[in-house]
Amino acid sequence: MKDTQIKKLIAAENKRQKGVINLIASENYVSKDVLEALGSELTNKYAEGYPGHRYYRGTGVVDDVERLAQERAFELFKLNPEEWSVNVQPLSGSPANVAVYTGLVPFGGRIMGMALEHGGHLTHGQKVSVTGKFWTQVPYFVEKGSERLNYGEIQKIAIAEKPVLIVAGFTAYAHVIDFKKFREIADACGAYLMVDMSHFAGLVAGGVYPPPFAYADVVTTTTHKTLRGPRSALIFTRKDKRELNKLVNRAVFPGMQGGPHVNQIAAVAVALKEASTPAFKKYAEQVVKNAKVLADELGKLGWRVVEGGTETHLLRIDVWQNGKGIGGREAADKLEAAGIIVNENTIPFDTRTPKDPSGLRLGSAPETTRGKKEKDFVAIARKIDTVLRSR
């Protein structure tokens, strides 16, 4: 690379990544093949439209790229293209979710999503996101005490508020979601069910988390978390006489986006193929085992694990401990100084602010990619404990 300033910064970031223990629950490390596709000449091509229906010439090759990504997405999640459509063009998770709402929910209409501090995402209708400005969020919460989803309570809210669309899928919920129950709730109030599987898509691909497709109308996912691809997103829409897929696809293009990032789509295709291998299945199994060990060991060391444990790649611990501990921000800073990278996170019914909440969120996906096993995660838990207790 001739640009020495950027070259230096890339080298510095590479060195930083190699030198730390990365427990960011939404990050991962992609393969060289994914990086190669991202850095390819495909970035030079404009291809507004969809395969076979573009607004630019010279799109024969990129049509093949996009179709291949679609085929691989169907194969990986065992979907019949007669029953599902997949849009591989969303630039990332937030635009994907906004596109679904744009297609399916009239402006001002109600979107029911988990409150942010309980584990929801900004784009599930929070006020500070456009999803809370263009639409109206009906929040639901986890239950006090267990900190788990209480489907009966969620159903009561849904029936009372009659949302147009219900979102299931969270950024900080550590347990398996009962999609069948969410379907029943959506049917009870006549809402669409959208599952945002961004966090656990790789676990679904690896067979260690139940797939949501039998129950959802729409499934969105980012591709860069447990799925271990480039930063991007997919939208799966059920194909039936309601023609939701047409509404969603039109919302992506021409509704929200211009030319798709074809290099990114190619990199997604590479990642989807990688995720269909036996090696990836083993990886997903190890991700969950490692997160469980991390939760168990931190629990043994005296840290309160939110929800009492994990069934996925992530967990939250309460570091504030009702004023006996330290704030999440201070805890994350201390860990960073010791080479452990995490993010501060709210915990359900948090008494502190999102900027300096009571908890930390920890994830096992990136370090599992680097080959770490249960014994390494025991050591990581002990190191976290030592650092957090140091004065």
Torsion of Cα atoms, 314 then 319 then 322 then 326, to 10° = -150
171 binds ligand DSN (CB under 6 A): yes
Q: 171 or 310, CB closer to ligand DSN?
A: 171
Q: How far is the CB of 199 from ligand DSN (least distance, A)?
A: 6
Q: Which of 66, 117, 196, 217 is catalytic?
A: 196
Taking the CA of residue 157 as centre, how many other CA atoms within 13 Å lie in the half-sphere pointing to its CB?
Answer: 21
Q: 51 or 363, CB closer to ligand DSN?
A: 363
Total interface residues for ligand DSN by CB under 6 A: 4
The count of other CB atoms within 10 Å of the CB of residue 302 is: 10
The DSSP secondary-structure symbol of 135 reads: S
Q: What is the CA radius of gyration of the chain?
A: 21
Q: How far is the CB of 362 from ligand DSN (least distance, A)?
A: 12
Among residues 274, 271, 306, 272, the alpha carbon closest in space to that of 291 is found at 306
355 noted as active-site residue: no
The amino acid that residue 265 corresponds to is I
Which residues inside 261-300 make contact with ligand DSN, applying CB under 6 A?
Answer: none
46 noted as active-site residue: yes
Q: How far is the CB of 171 from ligand DSN (least distance, A)?
A: 4
Q: 189 or 205, CB closer to ligand DSN?
A: 205
Question: What are the distances in angstroms from CA 99 to CA 133, 216, 253?
Answer: 15, 16, 9
Pairing of strands 343-345, 359-363: antiparallel
Q: How far is the CB of 302 from ligand DSN (least distance, A)?
A: 26
Q: Which residue is nearest to ligand DSN (CB)?
A: 26
Residue 302 assigned as binding residue: no
Q: Which of 27, 29, 33, 48 is catalytic?
A: 48
Q: Which of 45, 72, 183, 225 is catalytic?
A: 225
Secondary element (H or E) of residue 360: strand 359-363
Identify the sign of the CA torsion 215, 219, 223, 224: negative
CA distance 293 to 352: 28
Taking the CA of residue 60 as centre, how many other CA atoms within 13 Å lie in the half-sphere pointing to its CB?
Answer: 1
Residue 122 assigned as binding residue: yes
Q: 59 or 346, CB closer to ligand DSN?
A: 346
Q: 26 or 85, CB closer to ligand DSN?
A: 26
Pair of tokens at residue 1: 């690379």
366 binds ligand DSN (CB under 6 A): no
> In the set 49, 51, 90, 93, which binds ligand DSN (CB under 6 A)?
93
Q: Which of 27, 46, 289, 372 is catalytic?
A: 46
Which residues inside 12-31 make contact with ligand DSN, applying CB under 6 A?
Answer: 26
Binding mask 96-135 for ligand DSN (x = CB under 6 A): -------------------------x--------------
Pair of tokens at residue 59: 């799109």
CA distance 235 to 244: 12
Separation of CA 69 from chain center: 19
Secondary element (H or E) of residue 359: strand 359-363
370 noted as active-site residue: no
Q: How far is the CB of 329 from ligand DSN (least distance, A)?
A: 16
Q: How far is the CB of 241 from ligand DSN (least distance, A)?
A: 33
48 noted as active-site residue: yes
225 noted as active-site residue: yes
Q: 85 or 123, CB closer to ligand DSN?
A: 123
Specify which residues 192 forms β-bridges with: 165
Q: How far is the CB of 200 from ligand DSN (least distance, A)?
A: 11
310 binds ligand DSN (CB under 6 A): no
Which residues inside 129-158 make contact with ligand DSN, applying CB under 6 A?
Answer: none
310 noted as active-site residue: no
Query: Coil, strand, or helix at residue 141?
Result: coil
Question: What are the distances in angstroms from CA 322 to CA 46, 110, 351, 389?
Answer: 54, 35, 9, 16
Exposed / middle / buried, residue 265 (Cβ in 10 Å: 0-12, 13-18, 19+): buried
Q: 26 or 221, CB closer to ligand DSN?
A: 26
Residue 202 assigned as binding residue: no
CA distance 168 to 213: 12
Residues making contact with ligand DSN (CB under 6 A): 26, 93, 121, 171
Q: Which residues are annotated as a binding site for (6S)-5,6,7,8-tetrahydrofolate?
A: 116, 120-122
Q: Which residues are annotated as a binding site?
A: 116, 120-122
Query: What residues act catalytically?
Result: 46, 48, 196, 222, 225, 231
